[in-house]
Structure 1
Amino acid sequence: MNARQFQSTTGTVLAITPVSETSHVVTWLTPDLGKLVTVAKGAYRPKSIFLGQYDLFYTCEVLFYRTKPAGMHIARECWTINSRTSLRQNWRAACAASYICDLASKNVVPYRNERNVFELTNRTLDFFTEVTPAPQVLLWYELALAGAIGLSPRLFTCPVCERPLVGKEHNIFSVKSGGLVCGKCSEAGRTQNKGKDAEDVPEYTIPVTPDIFSILRRWQNESSPRFAQTTKCTPSQMAVLSDILLSFLSFHAAPAPVSRAIA
């Protein structure tokens, strides 16, 4: 069988990198193939079939020649499904879109079913075409992405004693344990299940007040960014929420991209 196979999929453009005067590499997020990297040869030529068919944040149908299993493939054609052109008229929305695409790219891998991440990211990008996203929407996306890749922080039961959590307690967020530790365990100085092998890294905990407790749990149950858009957060609440989610993702998934500070 020929090592190069013809294949098609639906993909959302996460990144575009020039590799010559006329060609560039396109990184796609796909539901069935995870992160897909293709070379669009001659994309800048005047009569190229790629002209106007894809750009950052576009969702397209893409045809490509599959080469090595996890290598760089050769794009043959693509057709625009959703261009999200309004993102090019709102720089704040474009910055937010760039960040979630960067974050998704860091947390998906080639040839793994990433339908949950694909649908989450497209749903969020579509929302950005309607409104200028509030800063808390990006934090909601970070929490939702953690769930989409199977790394949801534990917000309903203590990871140490397995007891249901109550917001009125003096809970703390344990980055190492990946969730909220109940007041009883935190007061006793227990932040990690003894049955688990402790990693040789320092523990980092963040105090969680009832308001932060409520926001995190509500966001985790929301599949749409609309609720986060209307969540009223003070600067101090935003700082704590940002610290929790940044620390959690950096420890359990991938380090945050530099675009987080810009978005």
Structure 2
Amino acid sequence: MIEKDIAVALRIAPFSETSRVVTWMSRSRGRIATLAKGSQRPKSAFLGQYDLFYSCEILYHARPGHDLHILRECSPLDQRARFRSDWKAMGVASYFADAVLRTCLPETPHAEVFDLLGSALDAAASGRKLETCLVSFELRLLQALGHSPRLATCLKCSKPIRGETSARPGAPRFSAFSLERGGMLCDDCATAAESAERLSHDIVGLLQFWLGADSMESALLARCSPAQWKSAAAVTGLFLQRHLELPPAGRNAALDLLGR
């Protein structure tokens, strides 16, 4: 059966000297793998038509019962050229692709993750605020997969948790964030015996803004200092490992690049 779809190239691996296996996140079927036969031959119609992080229109022969389909045609829609010259943006994009590969089951449609991946790659391809882009993507991926941290209200009593948009002068105020339970605890419900991270209210406010922003572009409007971003990224990383069980290697590589 021949199928047509829009897809983002997540991974390219050799199949033979002249052929490649391309793993895609597609709009209609989720994560799929296709064989691009003869794509490395000098006169192949596939030359220049796909690469990592391209959004493409693909035509492929879907083989029921098989985990590798046959790519027939491929036309690039968005090449995101910046990733070929900006190694920091490329590192962030690689992390996004790896996270989607590891958290989305094959042949399982997930339109929300597909849309998120495209908007996150577009944001990274702009080269702006890559650090913010990374954490915003993580929060939105958690949300799309049903593991969003509860940041707006207390987990126990539902009392509103009010973050701040910036750090105030004087001693910072803190609230408890339970990694195990998946969200905030108000001062009345937090106990010394319960294991929880202490988050200052400006970090809570940043996380609330990034998670609640209506788009990746809107999320980039938030202003934060390097110290604030570092604190927010640390707690988001711990939350990812606990609830999505993502290996830290890809994230650490992206953070290492951003720190250079």
TM-score tier (shorter) = 0.7 to 0.9
Where structure 1 has 5 or more consecutive residues not aligned to the other structure, the ranges are 191-202
Where structure 2 has 5 or more consecutive residues not aligned to the other structure, the ranges are 165-172, 255-260
Q: How many percent of aligned residue pairs carry the same amino acid?
A: 36
Q: Quote the Cα distance in structure 2 between the aligned partners of 1:82 and 1:69.
A: 31
| Corresponding residue for residue 105 of structure 2 | 109
Matched, 1:62 2:53: no
Matched, 1:171 2:171: no
| Corresponding residue for residue 94 of structure 2 | 98
RMSD: 2.1
| Corresponding residue for residue 220 of structure 1 | 211
Q: Quote the Cα distance in structure 1 between the aligned partners of 2:179 and 2:82.
A: 37
Whichever residue aligns with residue 53 of structure 2, its letter is F
Q: CA deviation at 1:27?
A: 0.9
Which range moves more in the overlay, 74-83 or 62-71?
62-71
Q: CA deviation at 1:238?
A: 2.4
SS at match of 1:185: coil
Q: Quote the Cα distance in structure 1 between the aligned partners of 2:13 and 2:6.
A: 20
1:183-237 Cα deviation digits (max 9, x unpaired):
21213645xxxxxxxxxxxx5x211111011101111111333344343333432
Q: Quote the Cα distance in structure 1 between the aligned partners of 2:108 and 2:89.
A: 29
Whichever residue aligns with residue 72 of structure 1, its letter is L
Q: Quote the Cα distance in structure 1 between the aligned partners of 2:174 and 2:84.
A: 45
Q: 1:93 to 1:170 in 2, by over 3 A?
A: closer
Whichever residue aligns with residue 125 of structure 1, its letter is L
Q: CA deviation at 1:109?
A: 1.5
Which range moves more in the overlay, 240-249 or 160-169?
160-169
Q: CA deviation at 1:115?
A: 1.1
Matched, 1:76 2:72: yes
1:181 corresponds to which of 185, 196, 215: 185
SS at match of 2:3: strand
Q: 1:131 to 1:167 in 2, by over 3 A?
A: closer
**Contact 2:31/2:109 (<8 A) preserved:** no
SS at match of 1:122: helix
Q: CA deviation at 1:171?
A: 1.9
| Corresponding residue for residue 223 of structure 2 | 232
Q: 1:82 to 1:257 in 2, by over 3 A?
A: farther
Q: CA deviation at 1:162?
A: 2.8
Whichever residue aligns with residue 75 of structure 1, its letter is L
**Contact 1:59/1:80 (<8 A) preserved:** yes
Which range moves more in the overlay, 247-256 or 36-45?
247-256
| Corresponding residue for residue 167 of structure 2 | none
Q: CA deviation at 1:259?
A: 2.6
**Contact 2:89/2:130 (<8 A) preserved:** no
Which range moves more in the overlay, 160-169 or 47-56?
160-169
TM-score after normalising by structure 2: 0.86
Q: CA deviation at 1:45?
A: 0.8
Query: 1:1-263 to 2 correspondence within 5 Å?
Result: 5-69=1-65, 71-167=67-163, 170-187=174-191, 189=193, 205-256=196-247, 258-263=249-254
Whichever residue aligns with residue 207 of structure 1, its letter is R
TM-score after normalising by structure 1: 0.85
Q: CA deviation at 1:176?
A: 1.2
Q: 1:161 to 1:188 in 2, by over 3 A?
A: farther
Whichever residue aligns with residue 137 of structure 1, its letter is C
Q: Quote the Cα distance in structure 1 between the aligned partners of 2:65 and 2:151.
A: 38
Q: CA deviation at 1:70?
A: 6.3
1:99-124 Cα deviation digits (max 9, x unpaired):
11111221212232211111111112
